[in-house]
Chain A
């Protein structure tokens, strides 16, 4: 399920058994920690002993520490975060479990919300600790730099970060420096001083050099540790050490050239061969080395290299995996390339085979590509696709695919179509068409060449897959005709059991019908699609689809059905014994909107609170936008029009476009508030900008805006009493009504009828006005619409008194009248206590662990018993408890339980 974590990347390399004590640097590091600085930056070129210093420092103290050795693959921010959390889990085993879950989901929430959730969990770690990011120079991705900057900016006080790197990272270093939040150790600090060099040669390496000889070596290498180490290895067992030093000092050659050759020359032919041949490996174990060198006894070779200090670094406790020091590995590889260039692909080939047999797919692909055995690589990639797609490794998948030459891809239809899918999934539209065509050519009858694929079944699904991606591309291009054409083709082609294909196609077809305004078909197709996807376990997609389905029901005037869709979605999202699935927060937002319409503002606010406590992190990408809209509507209902406008402004840039049409644009929502504020000029400007006119043909996609325009005309009449505005409004509403009735959009029909009642009231034609209102009431009663009427204010209240006098639907009208009455008396009593948390601060979201503890609060377990139940330390329970109290703004266990029950958290 999770991106499989290589434990070797999290292993804290032990310092070598005998090592130069670097008290001045250790002192500097300790001081930085004691001063509470956030970051220690160890920045120097290769071979300056950065990692050795930091691992030695960690080993020297009782301080908790975690380690992450970075590599080029960590340029994918998702993978970086997975490993970042993996490293933290070595300290706090359950940390970030739900975040890891989220990182595997098909759509990611905003990265800041993931990071905030992570910071919340870090903040709950009871003791101080250090995290080391080793070899940060291997990360080039701006997205990772930005994520790390965010983490550093908000770093909880108990965490200290150490970065070792060969180049200064793109982090806000000057700012940290200026605020005294940075400890810096650079090349000039790391160089061995003369006395450190003396200690190294004489105490560590037992070479017994004179002070003068040490000084000569120190000058020649300028204290560069890798150079001194190579020199020491070269001198071991040397007869004429003095002569060696003189020759080295008098030579102009690049230090590594001179010394590495010296070191290699002194090895037996056997060891030398082993070093060169295994240099192609990023990590070594004896069985892998046996395979690559085509020899046995690698185990004893590795032991021999370790004894000889030949830059072999252990990667785990069991001493199974090792790697060469990167600098030494580069030199070895260079020698291999210079001396046996033909051997290089052969070695990679053997490595690829071994990794494949041992189920290390990524390594197998890497070495196949290095061997330039592209057919082999293509086979491996094709087999890796489903797993890579499922675990969100599209970035890596794309890199592999890009490494394959066109000639290879041309014969691999299955890979081509997956290439298109991967591009689409990473949001890259360029090239999708080309790959689809490449796959499609194999579907023609007249083809005389043979396609290459791994699995016959994959090839048989090809026509369906191609059509499915074409439907998706068409929909993204707002090409409804082609979306329908291709989606229908998928349904014709896909087998009955292919739930994934059928579900995707059916949903796409539904969405295409949506744009055309045929809501019944939209609903049927889309819910059918969701049922298929549910069968193959695409739960987040299904929950996200609930929003679409409920939206349709609301437009059709089926508020009760919409509510039960949200309830079912919530059930799916909060199944027992599983972490909350993303989308639960979205369900609460949808329910808030429905409670508001029922005039149950307290429950509506509570729903929004629940959504907020679950965190944006638990929401789908659209949720931050939808949450603010729902909140703005509540504020509007409460009469806080300015507050509502502020929230709409805040929501606007958060809009995330997806496959569904935006039928309720935010500008129209604003225009409706402007009308209420008497800002008719602004509303008219908006109408002009949107080119709204009474001549325009009514259409579903523009309906919300067109109804808004009718409201503007009404308001215009009230301000200038020109008969033409009124007549325009009448004509417009007439046409809108016909269109909405024809499309079965009863929600819209009710709203239009209400406006008709108002317009005829203005025209002093009370019988017509009342008959429109009565019609609206008949449609609205079964679904218990309240706010739709009450929001129209005093004029509508007057009409209702007439309706009541005529004893029309007395129960419903009675309820509405009392709502009008409550409104007139002032909204104060309706306002729930904690109104107006305008911008939702994410820090308040409760973590999974905090929710666990909250649930146990309800029992009569004591603190120590809770700790036992959850298998965590009592101090951890206390830390979480403090954080729960803070977030819920309470100061006792009882109050916390009460509040949590109110919020529906437990």
Chain B
């Protein structure tokens, strides 16, 4: 009954938008950073610059967009209402923004103090978020793959954060943890148990909704999130106990889970009823193809000695996952969520007396398409930079700044359409209640 009574309590616009508008800033910063660090970033995944870049995207761009989306969608798709969403959003947003910047600074300087501070801010911000989200979801029966997926994704996020805190903490307080091993576990939980499980939970709703596809198949929906978490946990155990063969098998199974999600999504998208593709559809498909390519690279590195010994293969994989995969799918979803939320707000404020501009007047198709091409260009240049860093790192950095600057512009111009229309409403029917 609780879910029913709190049927329509989506949070104020401010709550998700502060996250959505911060996300592209981290990606623009990543572009600057590529220019500043130059080709040596691509020497290995363990260079401070590579670690900093990874976290600008993962703990900056992705985390901002993912938490912003959760604040917005949990009440709508799951009936899970956070208490005081505005206050939670403000505190969490400030903490993770500062925390991510401190973490990047820590990788670049290796100053223990910066690692300690990043642990405090990211750890506290995410602990508050997970606590509030868990409270909102507790007591809700897992009646849909989305609710179940959101719960497991929060577990995935928690493990990722705990491991991240241990890693950064050990650098801050000079503790003796096996850093490389823990890093692999941290990133696997981050990409698969948190990122992919969350994406699948949301995808179960938005892929059929935006693209009019059939629902995800039942055998997949029922088991995916639990199975992913279970395999991640078993693999972690095998990895920590250095049981080589089980660890290899379970690691492969974990990557296979992510690839399976991408494959199933592409399969149902092929049966979309929509008359033609829009930016969101292209973004989703591109992301799924990129995820499959990343899985293939991972598998090749495991099975072909030459590939496995090539120091840049993890970078290739990382770019396919972070930029080609998560960043693409996130931008694709922002292009539906942002105009719809703004339209809905204006429609409610106009109280039926002043029609709101439709979604494509809030962000035009042309602007989305052009930005998408810029993003595609930046991904291509980043991939080329893995092979020829000296030639492509600078164009890649500029392209990343252009693509995300454009994203920022599209989001800001949507907000300006919103602001102008609010003024018109105010002139026509007086100051609308907020």
A-B complex is real: no
Measured CB to CB, the residues of A under 8 A from B are: none
